[in-house]
A and B are shown apart, each in its own frame.
Chain A
Amino acid sequence: MDPTVNPAEIIPGLPDIPAVDVTRWGMPPMEALSTDLSRTVPAVAAAVDAVRAGDWRPAAALLDRSYGDWAMRAVAVHALGEAAADDVRWLEAWKAAVGGRDRNLAVVEAHGLCWLSWKLRGNRPDATARQQEAFHTLQMRCEEVAQRAASLAPEDPTPWLTLIIIARGRGYSAETFTSIFRELQTRDPLHRAGHEFALMYWSESAVSFEPVLAFAERAAAASPTLAFLLLQAAYDAEDDFEGVWQDPRVRHALDTILRGLASPAAAVGVYAASDRNWAAYALVNSGRGAEAVPLFVQLGTNASARPWEDFGPDAVVVFDAFRRRACAAVRT
């Protein structure tokens, strides 16, 4: 059987292949895997734990402290936004304490509405007309609040990240989208999350792999920290275009990321786990599963990131399947 094909991916319910005991390779068992996206960065995890317990102060302190560190801020706002979409009471307490014009509060409030809109919609294939309507209503409200957040912190790219996600959700034209993306780029030319969502936008409106790959290549040429975009582009295209993983540009990007992960300095940033996830996924699908084994060992229990995250309730199952395929690819 072709080791790169997982029957469970094609028809849910089929047994995953292969039957490998991943704990023998030093990986945690499937039951231990977590999709909690706040876990990856300890400071963010602590802030999210606190707000879920009703205390907004560690979150406010983290955002205050990290103002200017846009990568950390994007990660923190994203995780706090999800917590705000689940329960708004801590956000209201925060607002009661600092007033409505706090730039940290505003950006979390906006991003929380963004999360809320998606949570209201639910899984798209099952979404009813009422869910779609609620989604659009909240997207519009989010857009307003995000614009206010942007005006409260003119140099902060984070509200523009929210606006990029909303632009995608609202299906804005390419010109409108580009103008919003440019606002983010002027504030942080290498903003990783902004590029990630922008690529999603282009990928969805693209009819072929090439323009999406070209966007990814331009970004990756600016910095190796954006090389993952080529893997993301390949991942978006793999169902429609065969051989994307053999494309030399994609292979080159994968090697760039692996080299970065091998250097001690690059392997510790807030996005190191993200690079490991993309690289592990790409290695397995490129027939280089054995090289993914150490990456999966380093990832441990953290199955929260993309691309696994995109599989929603199946994220853990897909993550585990890829681990097993990686282990099975090692020649014994």
Chain B
Amino acid sequence: MTPAARRPEAKRLPGLRTASHLVLTGAVPAAMLAVMTGLIWFNAYAFTVSTLSALKIAIGVVPTAAVLGSGLWVLVFKGDKPLPGVPVHEHEHPDLWALVRGVAAAVGTAPPDRILLTADANAAVMEDTRLLGLVAARRHMTIGAPLVAEMTAPQLAAVIGHELGHYAARDTRFSAAAYRSRRAFVHTLTVLNRDDYLQRAMHFLLRHYGLLVVRGSANLSRRQERLADEAAATAVGSAATAAAFAALTSIAATWDLFRRDHLRIAWDQGFLPADAFAGFRSLRASLGDEPIEADEPDPYDTHPPMHERIAAVEALAAPGELRILPGEASSLLRDPARLLDAALLDGLEPEARAMRRADWTALVRLHVLASLAEPLVAANAARALGRPPTVETLLDALDAGLLEELGTDPDAPQGDPPRVRRERARVLVHKGLTGALAARIDAAGGVEWAESWPFPGAMRSILADPLAALVDAAVADRPDTSRLRALIDSVERLQGRPQNIGTAHRGEDPRTHGDAQGGERPRAVVEAVHGGRQPAGADRPDPAGGPHRQPRRDHPRPAGHPRG
């Protein structure tokens, strides 16, 4: 009796399922081919009967056949787009290649022909396929730079083992083909060019069918994911695989946050971080195990929930066939910092390559000073007093009772009541004055810039009093600018002694290289936080303002308040 014949009935079902999946993915092209052939044949036949009728028929048939034909071409023969990423050559990075080859051998499939390092927080194996995945050519592996930066070598091996495990044909002899065909199918759906009307028509035809196929084979997909997980665990061990999966979620979520809120903090000023991945590491460390909101689920994603996958992998208690030296995954690369940075740049807009680099505290400084600046107030001050818009000009204008002139906003609604007009000016001038002061104090060396993850940084000044209170006094209805003027004097005296940290403006002798006098820590003038948000904060990032969501009902009143 052959081993296959001894299999219980249930065990044969996956084979049927994968086969039917292949039929499903192939059904559309087959039907399209049949319809197109039928139409052409019918039209050709018509020509043999009556040329005039055949011409009339051709008016309808030719465009239809053209849509079907071009769609078929796209579906079946469309070449794969070039993959993103930076090539990792074997002769330059033999350690990583040795790991990948070892894992491929352990899971029982061929190693990739090419490895690319990408700016995404995932890994993948792709093949150049034809005929909806039935024919495979070159195999490519992409590895996300964030994984290399944050994982240990065994964890990275587990991720690679999972991806290669999909091609290991552990389930049925169809499973690798089914995996390939599903990927090719989804890939085709996502790469169809919506600007091209023929391809758009194809997308329209296939959109719902595609979801049907992918969701219809969800059980199959989950089964294949589990088998790929098993392959990884068998190769590198349950412990490393479970740890890798746990890290994967947090790395991906943190990477999204990092790319959105941190990487670009000084982008507008033309700067990128000198060491982006050091910042990424600090961010991830600062977030701890705080849950980060997940992105919208991808309708084509059929992975089981991560906690189930981790539990299943741990239950295997696989010791691992490969011996992988512990240590950071980045140590598998030669000059990892340079290569990781190249991968990061690869995922950014082309202008990023020309940008200057600065360390995190310098980026924080650039960002905070830029976000505090209020050019409108400076322009108003220059116009009102006919002088360059220095801090002194602003203060002189406030002393002269020109608050509303300084805070004129040409874009504000006309016809504000008096208090509204005045408060609008006050808020604007407060900001403008704070920005001008921050720049001035910073220029005199009176600001400490610090990293402050999960926010990128904080700004601490040498001032004994919070700046905000002094600015409040300056923009009050009866302005008092004397304390700010004294502050500027004292700060200017510090210039050239940038190490001084103390309450120098009180006329005391600041000590060098130490804390503020009496052990007093420098106070935070502005806990400057860039556009990022607190992952677990109480505030939603953009609080709703008006009473209603509906724009037509939105109005400036806080209330629709019943009375009567």
Name A residues whose Cβ lies closer than 8 Å to a Cβ of B: 9, 37, 40-41, 44, 74-75, 78-79, 84-88, 114-128, 130-138, 165, 168-173, 176, 192-193, 196-197, 200, 203-204, 228, 236, 239, 269-278, 302, 304-307, 309-313
Does B418 touch A at the CB level, under 8 Å?
yes
The 9 closest A-B pairs by CB, nearest first: A273-B564, A274-B562, A312-B555, A171-B543, A306-B560, A86-B417, A171-B540, A310-B553, A134-B427
Query: Of B419, B428, B430, B557, which contacts A86 at CB under 8 A?
Result: B419
- Taking the nearest CB of chain A, how far is it from the CB of B380, in angstroms? 13
* CB pair B423 A134 closer than 8 Å: yes
Please state if B555 and A310 are interface contacts (CB–CB under 8 Å).
Answer: yes
B563/A37 in contact, CB under 8 A: yes
Known: A133-B431, A172-B540, A204-B548. 7 other contacts (CB 8 A): A37-B563, A41-B563, A124-B554, A133-B427, A171-B542, A271-B563, A306-B560
Binding site of B, secondary structure by majority: helix, strand, loop or mixed? loop
State whether A122 touches B556 (Cβ < 8 A): yes
In the complex, the answer to whether A130 meets B545 with C-beta atoms within 8 Å is: no
**A111 to B, closest residue via Cβ:** B558
Q: A85 contacts B420, CB within 8 Å? A: yes
Which of A44, A120, A173, A312 contacts B427, CB < 8 Å? A120
CA distance A270 to B557 in the complex (A): 20
Determine the chain A residues whose CB is within 8 A of the CB of B558 once the complex forms: 114-115, 117-118, 165, 169
Q: Are A78 and B559 in contact (CB under 8 A)?
A: yes
For residue B81, CB closer than 8 A to chain A, the reply is no
Which among B412, B553, B556 is the interface contact of A130 at CB below 8 angstroms? B412
Report if B539 contacts A (CB, 8 A): yes
CB pair B562 A306 closer than 8 Å: yes
B409, B412, B424, B561 interface centre (most CB from chain A within 10 Å): B561
What is the CA–CA distance of A136 and B545 in the complex, to the nearest angstrom? Answer: 9
CB distance from B499 to the nearest CB of A (A): 35
Distance of A226 Cα from B552 Cα, bound (Å): 26
Give every chain B residue within 8 A of A278 (Cβ-Cβ): 562
CB distance from B549 to the nearest CB of A (A): 6
- State whether A132 touches B545 (Cβ < 8 A): yes
> What residues of B have a CB within 8 angstroms of the CB of A37 in the complex?
561, 563
Q: Are the CB atoms of A236 and B561 closer together than 8 Å?
A: no
Closest to B416 in A: A119
**A119 vs B421: C-alpha distance in the bound complex, in angstroms?**
10
Enumerate chain A residues within 8 angstroms of B560, measured Cβ to Cβ.
196, 305-307, 309-310
Whether the pair A305, B551 counts as a contact (CB closer than 8 A) is no
Instruction: Give, as a whole number of angstroms, the nearest-CB distance from A179 to chain B.
Output: 11
Nearest A-chain residue to B536, judged by Cβ:
A173
Residue of A nearest to B560 (CB): A306
B559 contacts across to A, CB distance below 8 A = 78, 165, 193, 197, 306, 309
Question: What CA separation (Å) do A52 and B350 show in the bound complex?
Answer: 60
Q: Which residue of B lies closest to A192 (CB)?
A: B562
Give the CA-CA distance A273 to B427 in the complex, in Å.
38
| Most chain B CB inside 10 Å of its own CB: which residue of A115, A203, A307 | A115
- Assess the B427–A88 pair: CB atoms within 8 A: no
Q: How would residues 319 to 333 of chain B score, 1 for a CB under 8 Å from any chain A CB and 0 otherwise?
A: 000000000000000
Minimum C-beta distance from A101 to chain B (A): 21
Complex Cα–Cα for A196 and B562 (A)? 9
Decide: A127 near B545, CB < 8 A? Known: A133-B431, A138-B427, A310-B555. Answer: yes
Q: Nearest residue in B to A310 (C-beta to C-beta)?
A: B553
Known: A114-B558, A130-B409, A138-B423. A273 touches B563 (CB 8 A): yes
**B538 within 8 Å of A (CB atoms):** yes
Q: Are A78 and B418 in contact (CB under 8 A)?
A: no
The one of A40, A137, A138, A197 in contact with B564, judged by C-beta atoms closer than 8 angstroms, is A40
Asked if B315 lies at the interface with its beta carbon under 8 angstroms from chain A, I say: no
Q: How far is the CA of A312 from the CA of B555 in the complex (A)?
A: 5
Q: Are B556 and A121 in contact (CB under 8 A)?
A: yes
Give chain B nearest CB distance to A279 CB in angstroms. 12
With an 8 A cutoff between CB atoms, is B413 at the interface? Answer: yes
Determine if A274 and B419 form an interchain contact, defined as CB atoms under 8 angstroms apart: no
